[in-house]
Amino acid sequence: MIPDLNRRVFLCRLASLLGGTFISSIVQATPPPEKGAKHTVEKGETVWGIARKYGVDPQEVLQLNRLEKPYTIYSGQSLLIPGTVKDDPPSGEENADRKHVVQKGETVWSISGKYNTTPTEIIELNDLKKPYRIYPGDELTIRGSSPSRSRQQGIAWLCRLPEGVRGRRWRYIIIHHSATRTGNAAIFDSHHRRLGMTYGLAYHFVVGNGTGSGDGEIEVGGRWKRQLHGGHVRSRQMNEVAIGICLVGDFNRTYPTRRQMENLVPLVQYLMDRYNVPKRRVVGHRDVQSTDCPGKNFSLTSLRGKL
């Protein structure tokens, strides 16, 4: 819940007024939940054709898969499709560890992004020592997938930043509830704009509860893609350094769904790892401001226990 967001009735009514098309047109980063996370390229297919098939932006498919000009794809190639995090177990081929030969200019960080893994995992797996220097020609082992890694990978590509956008120095992760029974990123976005927030959606991520978006679906806000400050707490200083994650629901009355928690945990883990945020800085809105957000039924202790 953002500080001045108390018009619960208004929000609920707004939710029922908005049609699906309108919603997905606002939050481009989040196509409808039925879209698959992966697509195996068939003969004759093009990036443009595949993007159209899934109703997503071809540019996003290119970015997500780090495809470069002339954007050649091959039949049998596995492409990531922008969208929701799926639980599908990965195929056998992806379970095998892979080798990566370091190219000029690459860093552990940039390689981890390429393979949707984390810098920490590459460091551990290859026994790299501080300051984790790697050289062109070095061979690195990249871990294959497992079902839980598949979710972790999905999260990594959801959080991926567009080319040219640099990660901010995030220091905190703040958990909120929407204090509404229903909602999604687009609904909150339009509400926050009406409240005068130029950059819209005050949070960086919204985790759905099956009402306005999929149950457990992670929606990525525009502020994340542009690495902008949040608008989710009163303190301006805190907004500058705190990632805001909002779970749809009113946790003074109900509880987070199982799927919300199942995806929240790896999302927070990924962000902690990527931005070096310690567990003690994963907090609830009520820990930094006088509010009951994220609701009496949301236990931060229990969340931290799972991280």
- Whether the ω angle into residue 162 lies within 30 degrees of 0, i.e. cis, is no
- The residue behind tokens 């949070």 is 203
Instruction: Count CA atoms within 13 Å of residue 113 on its CB side.
Output: 16
Stretch in the footprint of Zn ion (CB under 5 A) among 53-61, 154-162, 171-179, 263-271: 171-179
Single out the residue of 149, 160, 176, 259 in contact with Zn ion (rule: CB under 5 A): 176
**3-class secondary-structure state, position 180:** strand
How far, in Å, are 97, 101, 145 from residue 94 at the CA level? 8, 18, 6
| Least distance to Zn ion, CB of residue 278, Å | 21
The residue among 125 and 288 lying less far from Zn ion, judged by its C-beta, is 288
Q: How far apart are CA 229 and CA 241, in angstroms?
A: 7
Q: Report the nearest approach of Zn ion to the CB of residue 177 (Å).
A: 7
Cα dihedral 294/299/304/307 (nearest 10): -90
- In angstroms, what is the minimal distance from the CB of 293 to Zn ion? 3
Minimal distance in Å, beta carbon 297 to Zn ion?
14
By C-beta, is 293 or 303 nearer to Zn ion? 293
Site for Zn ion in 243-302 (CB under 5 A): 285, 293
> Under the criterion CB under 5 A, does residue 1 sit at the interface with Zn ion?
yes
Q: How far apart are CA 170 and CA 273, in angstroms?
A: 11
**Nearest residue (CB) to Zn ion, 274 versus 285:** 285
Residue number with CB closer to Zn ion (176 or 274): 176
Task: State which residue, 117 or 178, has the beta carbon closest to Zn ion.
Answer: 178
Residues forming the site for Zn ion (CB under 5 A): 1, 176, 285, 293
